[in-house]
Every structure is written in C-alpha cells, then in structure tokens.
Amino acid sequence: MPGPRLLNKVTIVTGSSQGIGREICTQFHEEGAFIVCSDLRPSGQGEDVPTHELITQKGGKAIFVQTDVSKAEDWVSLIAKTVNEYGRLDILVNNAGICTEANNPQPIDEVDEAAFDAHLRINTRGVFLGCKYAIQQMKKQELDASGLRGRIVNFASMVANIGMAGLTGYTASKGAVAAMTKTIALDVAKQGIVANSISPGFTQTAMLDNALGGALSSARDAVLAALPRGRFGEVKDHARAAVYLASDDAAWVTGINLNVDGGLTAQ
C-alpha cells in the first residue's frame, strides 16, 4: 500500500472552520500533513469542536491562527506563525470566501456597491495576498524530493465558467481567482512553485441551504435535476481534489482550473 500522500507537508488552509475548508483540513491530516487552520473563528456554523482540536484529537498536528484574509498584516502574521511552528510552508489552500448575494440575488442595476466590494475584498484580494506572501516564503525554501518549493491551491467556483443571475459580486470575484491563478502559475513556474484552482459546483453545505431556502425548497429539486451526476457535491469531493493538486502526483500540473461539479459545466 502506498504511504500518505502529504506526509509532513506544512499546510495553511483558510476558511478552515466549516464546510469545504474543514473537510480539507481533515483529509490533509489523513494524508499526513501538518495543518495551520486559518479563519476568523476557530469554530464554524454547527461545529462544536474547532477544526484544529479535532485534528489533534485524532493524533495529528494542527494549530489555529485567527486571520482576516483581506488584510496584508494578518497574512504576514499567519505565515510567520506557521514558519515559527513548523519551520517552513509547503502548501497553501486559499479556500476562504463569501457569497452573501446567494440569500438575496439582485440584477446588476440594483447591486449594492458595498456588497460587491466585500466579495472582491475577501474572495479575490484574500487570494492575492495569500499567494503573494506565501510565495515570498516558499522562494526561500529548498526544493523537496519532487523538485518543488511550494504548492498553491486556490478555490474559485463553477461561476468562473458560467454566469449566474443575481450574483454579480460573487461571479466577478471567483472568475478573477481562476484567471489570476493562471498568471501566478506562470510567474513562479521556474522557481519550483505550482499554482492551480478548483471550481466547485453545487455542494451540500450551509451556503447551499441558505441559497436554496432549505431542504424542502422546490428550487433545490430544480437544481438537482440539472446535474448530470444526479446529486449535489459533497465537501469531500473538493477536499480530495485539493489533496491531488497538493500532492506529488500533480507535481507537473500547474495553471489549471479543475472543475469539480458533477459535469455541470460540461453541458
């Protein structure tokens, strides 16, 4: 049997307290990584045990660092604490994001400008800052056995590929993440750093519940009927995709946007 795919790899995961981010932390732990959980709070909606405590209870290594991803000073502190704790930074997973528009979609001419700016500040600027300061650290490091100094996995969205009425800020911010990741990949390719993005489709999370109005919503049935695989995504689907992109199996993969959407955008 092969060993863990991320053995002793030091990993920052933003938005770690719930949903996809929490599952990424869990799956990376199971693959042998050391985790730095990064979020505004250690526990998310409906989670009694903070993610870093859950991992340590399972025998893993994890710490929590409170971070506002839209602030450069928080990123500087986060990476400094990571290096102080573990000695290096091998993997950055930029997962943190918001979609406040899902609760109240508005056409472009009615979009609240402050809400639009908030999506760009958190979803796009947060990824930009994370990549900037992580790469500064990664460039200082020696090459690992696979010839890399670092790996970056950014979370975009299916709306990087398709439009979605009423979600102007979210689509703008996530489309920017997918496009920016390609440029980042080119910027650092010769330095032994790879960067890729993942675009999740409709996934069973609290955000989906909020957007579709709960489990009995007719909107939920309509969305489900449009999915080629006939089911919503699960957080593990995206976490395992992140494991692949962060592992040696993807050492020669850079600049891609991996659609994990059950075939939605293939139609």
Residue 28: Cβ within 10 Å count:
28
CA gap 39, 69 in Å, rounded: 8
Buried (b) or exposed (e) across 38-63, using 16+ Cβ within 10 A? Answer: bbeebbbeeeeebbbebbeeeebbbb
| Helices 126-138 and 72-86, packing angle to 10 deg | 40
Closest CA to 159 of 192, 204, 201: 201
Question: Would you list the DSSP string of 132-144?
Answer: HHHHHHHTTSPP-
Give the whole-angstrom CA distance, residue 205 versus residue 187: 34
Q: Residue 95: exposed, middle, or buried by beta-carbon count in 10 A (0-12, 13-18, 19+)?
A: buried
CB contact at 8 A, 10 and 82: yes
Which tokens is 242 given?
């992140």
Residue with tokens 């489709």: 201
Question: For this structure, is 244 an active site residue?
Answer: no
Beta bridge partners of residue 11, listed in sequence order? 35, 91
The position carrying tokens 């981010």 is 21
Say which of 86, 133, 170, 244 is annotated catalytic. 170
Would you please indicate which residues are annotated as catalytic (active-site) residues? 170
